[in-house]
Structure 1
Amino acid sequence: AERISQENVGDYKIIEHYGEFSIIERKIPIVAVSSSGNGVIGNLTLKLIPGNNNVLISTNPFTETDIQYSVNKAVAVAKLRSNYKFNRDFIFSYEVGDARLIGGESAGAATTILTIAALQNKTIKNNVVITGTINPDGTIGRVSGILEKAKAAADSGYRYFLVPRGQSRITYYEKQITREPIGFGLEILNTRYIPKTIDLKKVAKEEWGLNVVEVSTIDEALPYFIE
């Protein structure tokens, strides 16, 4: 192996050179919901090294067990999308600030985009973040915490926030209490929950300057991330 000086190239680093293959490092922002219920922005880093197609995950903080399943799906989709025919190991590292738990598969779409960018030697834009699971056919699945994640993206200065198709309209339930007199100065308190809908595209644009975009597939999301 021939070691070369570390060189910054766009959003990634070429660290070492092994024959005709360099170790390449890429990074993409991810958005999560912390244990306190707030949205937080973190980073997901991928390092490609010579190997045997192992998928390794280094996490800080602790992650749920289905992260491994999600990452394996993302790598499989990225390989297919990139016509991958090499022998490399994929080393992923998560950093999500004060979020003590990375929720399930919600970074699946971001993981897929990151892997495609690394395999295709592409640069990742720095003004966009995405949330969504990844399915084996490349479609993007629904996640929770959309409103909290959108606020975190806006607070961190991102221009675009990509969400799964159908999730830019958020339904929540507003508590309403009515009083029903029953005589003799007594009354019954009736509690019910009324469904309300938020148009996140409108709210995010008008109040935060954030563009919320719905996407159904990785192919729809890629142009927002890859130059």
Structure 2
Amino acid sequence: KTTNLLLDKRWVAKVADFGLSKIGPNMLSHTHVSTIVKGSFGYLDPEYYRRQKLTEKSDVYSFGVVLFEVLCARPAVLPMVMEGEEELEQANLAEWALHCHQIGTLDQIIDPCLREKIDPECFKTFTDIAKKCLADRGSERPPMSDVLWNLELAWQQQEGADAEREQRTCDGTSTRIAGDVAVMIDGQQVLRTGNSDPTPGAEFSEIMAPVGR
């Protein structure tokens, strides 16, 4: 869960508490461990809750919740959510995010700071892998290696989009600068912004229509 993920001054993540992982399967011959249901509400694997069998895919589910926390800037357990005109006292972020993803409104609940900045392809890659992590059955959840690959892809897509946006901005600035021309007015050089309009500007008005003195 996010409260166990600490970031140092270089933004390197540190896991503060391994929780249930300490009692999970530690050998290849063991695919799960049977235990009384423990864990934090909002991060709890529904399959583990039903079958009381803890697997590696239980951690994948919890990580999927963390991904949606990061995307939406909301806690795993929402104290109050509006569903139409009905007010729900408590809601599960994972279930709410999946519902919004299904009806195509997920972009409306993400962090407002990301909404205008996140690239559509990055958004799709990120949300698709987060959704897969929250699959009801552990067997349908991806291995963490796949999760990592998709997150790196999303990061590359965002970096590419940011670089392209920055390049367009630079190109626009260069075009405006290149369009500027220097003209001589009363013996002084004046920088004039480029304009395709052939109509003479104010600085030429006295030349075109001289006024007698």
Structure with a larger share of its residues in helix? 2
Relative contact order higher in (CA < 8 Å, ≥ 6 apart): 1
TM-score by length of 2: 0.32
* Greater per-residue strand proportion: 1
Q: Name which one, 1 or 2, has greater alpha-carbon Rg.
A: 2
